[in-house]
Chains A and B, each alone.
Chain A
Amino acid sequence: MLTSPPVSSATPHAEPSILQASDVSFGYRSRSTQPRALAVRNVSLAVPRGSFTGLLGPNGCGKTTLLKLLSGVLPPDSGRVTLSGQTLSEMSRRVVASRIACVPQETHPAFDYTCMEMVLMGRHPHLGPFQLEGPADIAIARDALAATGTVHLADRPYMTVSGGEKQRVVIAAALAQEGDVLLLDEPTASLDLGFQLEVAMLLKQLNRDRGVTMVLATHDLNLAASLCDTLVLMRDGSVLTQGATRDVLTPAAVRRLYDVDADVDFHHRAGHLTVVPCGRLRHEES
């Protein structure tokens, strides 16, 4: 088990990293297991500003936990996470939230909020303690809904719309936070192919045109290949390797991650690498 990741030659020392994890570890507390099983162990990674970084790995590899650590929602047991050089745990939650927005896998509100209300909640970090949203905030929220193609759902209760629509509304809420960084956990998991592409295009656009740094956790290799310029491969809580997608996404990497024999080729029409699985391997030393 590697404790420090091999740094690829394409490590972006050239661009400053906006979000950085330095030797971060975290374990969920459980009374039954002593000592605690670490979900994330000694992870160091740097998310270049303006990049589209993917956290790739099988289920249970710690991607979701790492995303939570990167957003500051979970405090690391050891090591630290910094945003533009400042340690996250020393910053107020409000300030962090105005810079980092999250799109979790699932959102279950306890009450019957409308989609518009869900998106407006994304404005919270920008409002003062007693401040209510004003016309400017409402305009931002409407634009966010528009960007994800969900304007027509504004007044519908969130819980009555389909899974894919829910996910788009949550993305809209994250957009309304107007952060520099967007952390997404399997954002296209419940979307139809058409909307997968739409959301992918939207994210790509935001990243390219507005410079929003994206960190996407997924186990979908092709999605990662299509969107991400930087990849961080994880397994069992540790980083196996990180670097530019074209350098990192190799058949050897796929074998190490998934025990799967696959072909990785550049698809000209799509314009990015594609991974085609060809067969399952027995677990053996690579």
Chain B
Amino acid sequence: MKSPEAAPSDTSRFGGNAPATAHADTTSGTLPIRSRVALTMGAFGALTVVACLTAPLVGGTPISLARALDRSIPFANNVDAQIFFIARLPRVLAGALVGSALAAAGVVFQAMLRNPLATPFTLGVSAGSSLGAMIAITFGATFGWGPLSPVPLASLVGASIAASLVYWLATRSGRAISTSVLLLAGVTLNSFFSALIMFVQYVADFARIAAAFRWLMGDLDVGSFEPLWGAMPLLLASYIIFALLPSSLNLLSLGNDAAASRGVDVARAQRLAFISASMATSAAVSIAGPIGFVGIVVPHLVRLIVGVDHRVVLPASALFGATFLVACDVLSRTLFSPVEIPVGVVTALIGGPFFLWLLVRRG
């Protein structure tokens, strides 16, 4: 360790025996934050756009873009156009929105719980969604609302009940949320809802069990833009809040007191983080079911590339999450065509080995 030079200290703002500021310019090797944010958003954004433009062209049935865009052929006869606009485009968009929402929610939950292993599903929001969806599937619910069909609607209702319960449990004891109470409440609710899910599956009949089971594996085949419209209000609201969070997230991850002493309104930041991440998760699950691993693989991958500053990690994860899930969906559609592997299985098959590798790498 170098010992500080005994240079005149009047040029340094804070005194002490230290080299003057001019020498310090060469010490930091990383780019300043403004450049990093611009660079990462540009790079990951470009990647997302490329993914979303090329994914609709790939699939089980070979189609030609020229034919699909050919307006001279009446739409009713143009199978390529039908497949492109009805089957693939909404599906790719769903993949982008769901992947982005889950990745961003993952980042926010990890910061809020001060635990890099937290996922969007840790606090029971997805268990609530799943329970709602299970009940709707099992008992053949038929009541929709606007663009939301029965199962997504039920899953949103389940998610809000779960999130409200966790929120209430965690905020009863005062203003700032203790992360251990939050974690405990979430894990408890997870177990409770999972038990209820098991019970519902038990009383269901076979065709329903198969359908319910299938829903749990995740499915991006939305078939139209309706389910996306239904989830849009929640997604928009959560993204608006996400934009406010990153610097608070950095400070929150130091601890509640450390954050407060640096000017963060801890209670407010925690509430905003919880609400926005829960909304994003609920919306994502209502569209495509609970797709795992996106919320944890993407943030970790992104951190490996861009560092841990949330002002870079959050937007980068939102963008890369979209790319990641769109790519996984392409794999799910094409690997064993014409049979489709559920996209949740693909993300798990990629996520599992990735984590093993991370573990090995850390030694």
Contacts and interface: CB of A to CB of B under 8 A. Distances in A.
Contacts of A124: 247, 251, 262-264
A114 interface: yes
A116 interface: yes
Contacts of A144: 13-14
Report whether over half of chain B's contact residues are helix, strand or loop; otherwise say mixed.
loop
A134 B264 contact: no
Contacts of B255: 107-108
Contacts of B258: 102, 104, 107
How big is the B interface, by class? 35 or more
Interface stretch (A65-73, A244-252, A261-269): A65-73
Instruction: Tell which of A104, A149, A198, A209 has the most Cβ of chain B within 10 Å.
Output: A149
A237 B338 CA distance: 73
A152 B308 contact: no
A206 B251 contact: no
B329 to A, nearest CB: 30
A143 B17 contact: no
Contact of A149 (B17, B25, B33, B250): B17
A101 interface: yes
Interface in B256-304: 257-258, 260-265, 303
Contacts of B303: 111-112
Interface stretch (A47-55, A91-99, A224-232): A91-99
B34 A146 contact: no
Q: Name the 10 nearest CB pairs between A and B, nearest first.
A: A97-B263, A147-B14, A146-B18, A125-B263, A147-B16, A110-B114, A102-B261, A143-B13, A111-B308, A94-B263
B251 A121 contact: yes
29 contacts: A68-B257, A73-B260, A93-B264, A97-B263, A101-B262, A104-B257, A112-B303, A114-B30, A116-B28, A120-B33, A121-B254, A121-B262, A122-B262, A129-B244, A130-B243, A132-B33, A134-B34, A138-B28, A142-B24, A144-B13, A145-B27, A146-B12, A146-B20, A148-B16, A149-B4, A149-B16, A151-B18, A151-B27, A155-B29
A152 B261 contact: no
B13 A140 contact: yes
Given A132-B33, A134-B34, A146 B19 contact: yes
Interface string B115-128: 11000000000000
Given A73-B261, A93-B265, A152-B1, A142 B28 contact: yes
Contacts of A210: 14-15
B311 interface: yes
Instruction: Tell which of B28, B307, B309 has the most Cβ of chain A within 10 Å.
Output: B28
B111 interface: yes
A117 interface: yes
A142 B308 contact: no
A177 interface: yes
A135 B24 contact: no
A205 interface: yes
A155 B17 CA distance: 20
Given A29-B173, A98-B263, A155-B30, A143 B24 contact: yes
B224 interface: no
Interface in B210-225: none
